[in-house]
Structure 1
Amino acid sequence: MPRPAEPGRTALLTAGALVAEDRGLRGLSVNAVVEAAGMAKGTFYHHFPDRRSYVIALHRRYHDALAELITAQITDIPPGAERIRVGVTAYLDACLQTRGTKAFLAQSRTDSDLLDEVYARNREFAGVIEADLTVLGWPDPSAVAHLLVAMVAEIALTELYGEGSRGDLRAAVMDLIDRGGPGTR
């Protein structure tokens, strides 16, 4: 009879977030994770078939937590500029406070195991924003949502590497949002 996935799986993912924060994705070895979790290497392979599936699970866990936090903030706000503003602020603030953000935002873009995951998450977040951009009058809300996600990710990275919130960049992206689509000027 197989053992239940929890709490071992959760302990390994929590340890991986700490290792990723300290050493980045390149330093996220199976040995480092089991050492941080205080578990045997065999336990890792009981929960994950290989490092690749582990890194994907870790990436998904990180972004699921971000999505949950953002959704909680925007749920009662009707589509439009205010909902984008609240969602973007929630995302950027969470990126500054969440373990492993540098690894999962910057390094995941160059990790071939995670490229599909990165693109899927970006499409997911852009899909949420499309309704807001439609309300704002953008003629191609899908394309603008894609660009908005890229801009916000760049702000998050700038804030992370600059070690603090960048009010000027946050204000600039909000100003673009507030201007609405080309047909609304």
Structure 2
Amino acid sequence: MPRPPEPGRNALLTAGAEIAGREGMRGLSVNAVVAAAGMAKGTFYHHFPDRRSYVIALHHRYHEELGAVILAAIAGCEPGAERLRVGMTAYLDACLATSGTKAFLAQSRTDIDLIDQVHERNRLFAAMIGPDLSELGWSDPAPVALLVIAMVAETALAELYSAGPRPDLRAALTALIERYPRHQG
């Protein structure tokens, strides 16, 4: 069994999430992180070889936590419309409640150090919803799943900018996903 991260590493990641929530990705300097964590700069480099590695670990941690929320919400649900709705709702609600969401959803798309991480995360979430889309009647769920992930991420950002849930967008998203396959030839 892998050893859990050390308390110092966790403190640095927690400090970074708080900074990202307040200042975005640009505020994530090594100096700012160690100051917020109350640690020496050498401690940072003990856990992370450079800022790039740190930002990747921070991004990974953020999405692992979101993934855990989604998995807990859909546990026991059979693939299909209800599981997809429950998972999307869990994700959107968690994005609203989690510090740093704007940085990790919007700003990470343009951070050269995170592009590969963003694409990998999208592929993982797309694979998670593929069975739901198949059950809904999508004959080729893989590309549709990637588009759904993009739509859900955009909905999350719209909700962040609105400072709350957008039932209109959530309903439109669900309608687009669930209604279109009936028209496939």
Q: What TM-score range do you get, normalising by the shorter chain?
A: over 0.9
Pairwise CA distance, 1:177: 2.7
1:183 Cα offset (Å)? 5.2
Give 1:27 deviation, angstroms: 1.2
What is residue 166 of structure 1 aligned with on the other side?
166
Q: Which residue of 1 aligns with 2:69?
A: 69
Q: Tell me, in whole angstroms, the C-alpha distance in 1 between the residues paired with 2:183 and 2:135.
A: 12
Residue 115 of structure 1: aligned partner: 115
Letter matched to residue 70 of structure 1: I
Distance 1:75 1:81 in 2: 14
Runs of at least 5 residues in structure 1 that lack an aligned partner in the other structure: none
- What residue number does 1:34 align with? 34
Alpha-carbon displacement from aligned partner over 1:100-154 (angstroms, at most 9, x marks no partner): 1010000000000000000000000000111111111111100110110000000
Q: Give the distance between the partners of 1:131 and 1:178, measured in 2 at CA.
A: 13
Contact 1:105 1:157 in 2 (8 A): yes
* Paired position in structure 1 for 2:98: 98
Distance 1:184 1:110 in 2: 35
Q: Which amino acid aligns with 1:25?
A: M
Q: TM-score, normalised by structure 2?
A: 0.95
Q: What is the number of residues matched between the two proteins?
A: 182
Superposition CA RMSD, Å: 1.4
Give % identity: 68
CA shift at 1:178, angstroms? 2.7
Rounded to whole Å, the distance in 2 between the matches of 1:83 and 1:5 is 32
Aligned amino acid, residue 152 of structure 1: V
Aligned partner of 1:82 in structure 2 is: 82
Give the superposition deviation at 1:174. Answer: 1.1
Aligned match of 2:56: 56
Q: Name the amino acid aligned to 2:108.
A: S
